[in-house]
Structure 1
């Protein structure tokens, strides 16, 4: 953890954003662990966001150079090459200002920093991937990175991403580190008090937490919710989606609510009787493990590493099978005892299989090598 002369290694952790979503949360754990190990850590966020104060409480933190202009420029169809050049050039200036020994890029969405770091001799780079192969390929191309460089250390957030990286990079499994994402146990449990919203004693709340978007399957969730509500007209059931984004137009059923984003979603998540994950693509969603840690049974499509997360502590449905998804939710709505059994099993599974201690140990090995 030291450089020549005994001074600590300078590590710059680059997070693609400072939202309260999964990958930035993992970046926060990376920063906390490296600071605890004695590295001279600083944080750079490609965009401003609500997580910045929490990063700043751990290490010196700043927002990347010209974030709005860069984001706008990379979206211009007629000037993509110019946009990529601007993005990489600003990334190089960010690195030049901080002169890190190690650049830890947390997400393929910040791939411009992988490109810029390679222009600087003897700078080690780690790319911590939280995306599936299809998403990562698009992100790399958008940053002007046409193939994963051999001198970049690759870290996968899940077994499914690890397999994707083996194919994309043409490397053996032992050449790619596996750093399985885990929830911040203490924080989630401390913040996850019961929701204060008034509820009838027999009401069952079916929840989802994430951005309201196509990739997260909001349309599939609405179809499943509609089916459950039609099948159970006499039961008190409420569907709640917590997260940012614009709800689909035409949604009028008062039993389906889009609650919007929250600085602390954990009380709402703890108040769910059933948590759902209707995503079309999600390599290793932290929200699944957080829900399980809060003792909430999960019904999810079996995308990415979700089956490995849930195991026998929830219900995994074939991806895209809305009918099966609705049937699984309906069964749990009608069976409070099954919800309790799965919720308890889920909490114990996370504590046993997805601990912060294991994450810290694996991260130390990645950085040390």
Structure 2
């Protein structure tokens, strides 16, 4: 088939990286795959290395209008028209929409009755509902094949779409092992001898819990004033500057965050909402123990190979970090257990087999 994979962006976040795995797997099956990104981004060259890749028509204009308070409705319809033009250019048999954030393509694809559509959802119910409503999709059409990235998202989709469980596919996100190991192997800054680095990788924003992470970091540093410990956040976004301890650092975005992630002694996930964060599995794959709030599918990811804390429990997050800072043996054991869990439970081969079944159906 001619398959068009639509990624809502070409950033280094989780959903576009899953889209790369989808593109690679479909191409291996012999499909004629092309990629459309709704906006430019640093992953475009990597997509282009896998399949012919283009950017949506008028991406900045469409984004500006849909984000406008006064012109939102006009912008929404223009966005759908732009999506229709994009689909007209590609003439695919199957449109694979990788994220509810590209909901305009779900609407536009329905204007082509012979084209089948897959919507691969990486968002929680509340976020997905807002994204689809913003694209003018009030109800998920019955002829759109639904794919969930995690068990929690699967349950959300069954409820939102009103479908039997077996009619919503579960394609659990997995890390790209070769890519992660290859990029992590490049030279990166190593922590000082004896220093414990507590890291976080993600956008610096409210949903990712940057304020909660800062509170936990300050609690740990206050309880361990003489310990050689440093907190590092790698990711793009406005850096909080108020009352930052010298042992707390925001490193900014990185073209390759994996060396930094591999240098963490403890990885953290303080998110308020994160259905199935790929960064958790990637940290585990690198042998780094993870301390995380139990949001979305995070407990399913970590199992007993890390520490899961009640969502929003800053004191619990700080306590778990503190205990691992003081216990290098536990860090090493959890890191080894984490790597084994990912390799056995979240394999790329399983991902590709499930994807083949979804596309065949």
1:172 has 2:164 as partner: yes
Offset of residue 202 of structure 1 = 1.3
Offset of residue 122 of structure 1 = 1.4
Unaligned runs of 5+ in 1: 1-8
RMSD between superposed Cα atoms in Å: 0.9
Residues 98/348 of structure 1: CA separation in 2 closer, same or farther (3 Å cut): same
- CA–CA separation in structure 2 for the residues paired with 1:90 and 1:12: 15
Alignment of 1:1-12 (within 5 A): 9-12=1-4
Offset of residue 134 of structure 1 = 0.3
Number of the residue aligned with 1:5? none
Number of the residue aligned with 1:203? 195
- CA–CA separation in structure 1 for the residues paired with 2:191 and 2:9: 35
Q: Secondary structure at the match of 2:133?
A: helix
Residues 144/289 of structure 1: CA separation in 2 closer, same or farther (3 Å cut): same
Q: Secondary structure at the match of 2:304?
A: coil
Q: Secondary structure at the match of 1:111?
A: helix
Q: Secondary structure at the match of 1:127?
A: strand
1:73 has 2:49 as partner: no
Q: Deviations over 1:175-217 (max 9, x none)?
A: 0000000000111111113764353321000000000000000
Number of the residue aligned with 1:331? 323
Q: 1:275 aligns with which of 267, 272, 297?
A: 267
Offset of residue 162 of structure 1 = 0.1
Q: 1:99 aligns with which of 87, 91, 95?
A: 91
Number of the residue aligned with 1:213? 205
Number of the residue aligned with 2:140? 148
Offset of residue 252 of structure 1 = 2.6
Q: Deviations over 1:123-164 (max 9, x none)?
A: 100000000000000000000000111000000000000000
- CA–CA separation in structure 1 for the residues paired with 2:127 and 2:243: 29
TM-score by length of 1: 0.97
Alignment of 1:1-369 (within 5 A): 9-193=1-185, 196-197=188-189, 199-369=191-361
Q: Secondary structure at the match of 2:215?
A: helix
Q: Judge conservation of contact 2:189–2:259 (CA < 8 Å) in 1.
A: no
- Higher mean Cα deviation, 151-160 or 194-203? 194-203
Q: Judge conservation of contact 1:47–1:67 (CA < 8 Å) in 2.
A: yes
TM-score by length of 2: 0.99
- CA–CA separation in structure 2 for the residues paired with 1:241 and 1:286: 16
- CA–CA separation in structure 2 for the residues paired with 1:197 and 1:166: 45
How many aligned positions are there?
361
Offset of residue 51 of structure 1 = 0.4
Q: Judge conservation of contact 1:195–1:271 (CA < 8 Å) in 2.
A: no
Unaligned runs of 5+ in 2: none
Residues 82/118 of structure 1: CA separation in 2 closer, same or farther (3 Å cut): same
- CA–CA separation in structure 2 for the residues paired with 1:22 and 1:279: 14
Q: Judge conservation of contact 2:274–2:296 (CA < 8 Å) in 1.
A: yes
Q: Judge conservation of contact 1:194–1:271 (CA < 8 Å) in 2.
A: no
Residues 202/71 of structure 1: CA separation in 2 closer, same or farther (3 Å cut): same
Q: Secondary structure at the match of 1:331?
A: helix
Q: Judge conservation of contact 2:287–2:338 (CA < 8 Å) in 1.
A: yes
Q: Secondary structure at the match of 1:77?
A: coil
